[in-house]
Chains A and B, each alone.
Chain A
């Protein structure tokens, strides 16, 4: 299981990635992170909410209250958020390939 300090610097990219397919509320974002990582990402759940707010302040996410019976803030990627995700994916592939080449 990966600890929070290892994930530092990658949280924004991870959040953008899980919101790529569909809009989600905060709890669902955390559940999706766990599900996609096979339970390997041990994020303190509280850290995700400030990050969601920051990404929204940066214009990478937008949010709105859901229409359902339950009052939930649902986040979705903006166009800038999609561009940022593409950039982060590219950076990550480049970085991991470089490190991989050295470690191999």
Chain B
């Protein structure tokens, strides 16, 4: 018959291994083991459950909490970056950030900056919104499965990366188009890009923390319609491609109308078609990675 001390030590050793297996290490693992040791000292006959089940429960709880926090933290940083881009746009003067200006032709730097700003910004906005919607539609009190958490983390990572690219584009535009505003505007734009980037980088540790501890529970991810939850019309249930075509058409039409009103109808239509192609291309290319249209295969548990 083993002594209570020996049983406690064996349990803690096994729990330490299982915690490491689900990605819980360092100070957090030491803390959990210390709490368990104290518990077993208070009650040597305590029923804490099997070490692997307890470790998986920690992974489920902490993986879910960390993933949700990463999503919200990144979204706050994205919102700040979005506001800074908007402020730069609104203060850029009557010519605007992207328009050709008679005496100041668009240079390669400004062209590259504009492309990075527009493409990066749109992908960041879409990925960030999808991460937020995905977290919201899966209920605050519900534990995420391994594949659900992974998809939300990917969306968050893509949103942060693309927002950073977008801010590089903003800085290039600021440096490349000083004629659009005052010297102060150039400083504001470049500094704004820096502040936005700092905010985004500050959100990265939350994402890294989430990536370290993944929920162990298996289950399917769903698709973009499930992300929308009650916001999705019933007719779209199970038809993510219909949703993609609707969004693509709507965005293209909106851009075409705005472009036509701002310049000429042909230019507007061209911009609308380009926007639609980008939107649909993003859905096709990033769809499986971001869990938009293919049901992610059920993940196996990590034990």
Contact = CB atoms under 8 A, between A and B. Distances in A.
Q: Is the interface of B mostly helix, strand, loop or mixed?
A: helix
B60 interface: yes
Interface string A30-53: 100000000000001111011101
A58 B65 contact: yes
B35 A26 contact: yes
A51 B36 CA distance: 14
Residue of B32, B42, B64, B69 with highest tally of chain A CB at under 10 A: B42
Interface in B8-57: 31-32, 34-36, 38-39, 41-43, 46-49, 53-54, 57
A71 B54 contact: no
Contacts of A47: 49, 57
A70 B38 contact: yes
Contact of B39 (A26, A51, A53): A26
B73 to A, nearest CB: 12
A21 interface: no
Interface residues of A, number: 21
Nearest to B24: A53
B177 interface: no
A9 B64 CA distance: 16
Contacts of A49: 32, 35-36, 39, 54, 58
- List 3 A-B pairs, minimum CB-CB distance, nearest first: A46-B49, A46-B48, A57-B65
7 contacts: A47-B57, A50-B61, A51-B61, A54-B61, A54-B65, A72-B35, A73-B34
